Structure 1
Amino acid sequence: MEFVKSKKGKEKVIFEGYVYVKQKKLAHGVVSFECEKRRNKLECKAKIKLRGVNLVGRLNNHSHGPDPARREILKVLQEMKKSAEETEEAPQQIISRSVSSISEDAKAKLPTVHQLRRNFRRYRQVVNNPPPVPLNISLPS
């Protein structure tokens, strides 16, 4: 079982070759995760429930097979985002270094280089320019 972050920083779990997204928190520290294909045309209804890193329960079977390339893609995208945050390397260098270590199947399913570079620019812009803190200034009446 592996935990990764989505593009928006949300939790995802990779378990037995399937990717699950956080659905909701339940009682007693249990968290429900649903298959990431739940809201697409496959409408997979598989769910797991975790307490920490321990599997507590499973609901339904998957309506599709596991995608081993998806795990690689999520790990590489997370690695790229971390590199963009920590280094000043050019996006092309980070992309080349990261993509060199994955399988051909995963490379074929990655976003285009143009899309990856655009995501780097956007991410670095947000990191380097955090939103301003509003000032509480009272004006005389």
Structure 2
Amino acid sequence: SNLSLYDTVDDQVEDDDYYDPELCFENENDDKVVEEYEEEESIEPKKKLTATSTKFGNPKLCHEGYFYTINRQTGVFPNNKIEWKCERVGSKKDKCNGRVVTIGHLEPVKEITSHNHLPDPAKTECLLAMEKLKQLAQQSSQNPRSIIKKAQLNLSEESAAKMTRAVYLTQIVKRIQNEKVDSGDTAKDRTELNIPDSLLLSYDGEKFLLEDTGPDDPERILIFCTKENLTLLNSNWDWYCDGT
């Protein structure tokens, strides 16, 4: 008899059989391959080291309540090997030769010489808060009290007790802000004004210098305002100005 397209020579296909494309590629090792792939995908990227800056602008490593500065480096960035020494290594009273090693500025941190003193976890919070305070002072023209409050937000009670006194923090903020605004000689008129980038934006990062007719204009006009405040002015009949 004639064979139909659905007949086979070796065996007959039952009516309730159906075509499943996945069966054509079934492999007993599939599950293992998927598990290995998922395991690779779940590997988290290496974390950056927790670090602040020394008074000379060099990195200071903060790890598990201990603090280190760079002793020496070998290799090429970013795979350079860095040996860190305890910050007390130069102390005459309580010298410590603690050492750790990292590859670049990423974890893990491997200890090669143990410390002879206890860790101070609260100090880490203080150093990070001080770093944040300096950054805020550089980026913002807000008053020192507001900047200090933001920098110390979420400090633990222990860290807050060890934090530098507010009067000294205020001096630090003012010094940074004065250095930031200083643009050289005092301008004799508006055409000589050199406005630093830090004063072109508001505290929230909005454009603050809306209009500047330029230094070539003998009657130079500069308008400092945000769009929101300009809308408020436009919606009110009465404006009050000082004589500055």
TM range (shorter): 0.7 to 0.9
Deviation at 1:81, TM superposition (A): 0.9
The alignment status of 1:34 with 2:82, answered yes or no, reads no
The alignment status of 1:3 with 2:51, answered yes or no, reads yes
Equivalent position SS for 1:38? coil
Q: Alignment RMSD, CA only?
A: 2.3
Deviation at 1:131, TM superposition (A): 8.1
Equivalent position SS for 2:173? helix
Percent identical residues: 24
Per-residue CA shift, 1:86-124, capped at 9, x if unaligned? 111111111123224211211121111111111112222
Which consecutive aligned stretches of 4+ in structure 1 deviate over 4 angstroms post-superposition? 54-57
Instruction: With the length of structure 1 as denominator, give the TM-score of the two structures.
Output: 0.80
> Mapping of 1:102-113 within 5 angstroms?
102-113=155-166
- Find the aligned partners of 1:79 and 1:90 in 2 and give their Cα distance: 15
Deviation at 1:34, TM superposition (A): 0.9
The alignment status of 1:25 with 2:78, answered yes or no, reads no
The count of residues paired between Structure 1 and Structure 2 equals 132
Letter in 1 for 2:72: K
Deviation at 1:39, TM superposition (A): 2.2
Equivalent position SS for 1:58? strand
Per-residue CA shift, 1:26-81, capped at 9, x if unaligned? 34522221111222222110011222114475332101111111110011011111
Greater Cα radius of gyration, structure 1 or 2? 2
Equivalent position SS for 1:119? helix
Equivalent position SS for 1:19? strand
CA contact (8 A) 1:48 1:55 kept: no
- Greater relative contact order (Cα 8 A, min sep 6): structure 1 or 2? 1
Structure 2: gaps (5+ residues): 1-48, 186-244
Q: More helix per residue: 1 or 2?
A: 1
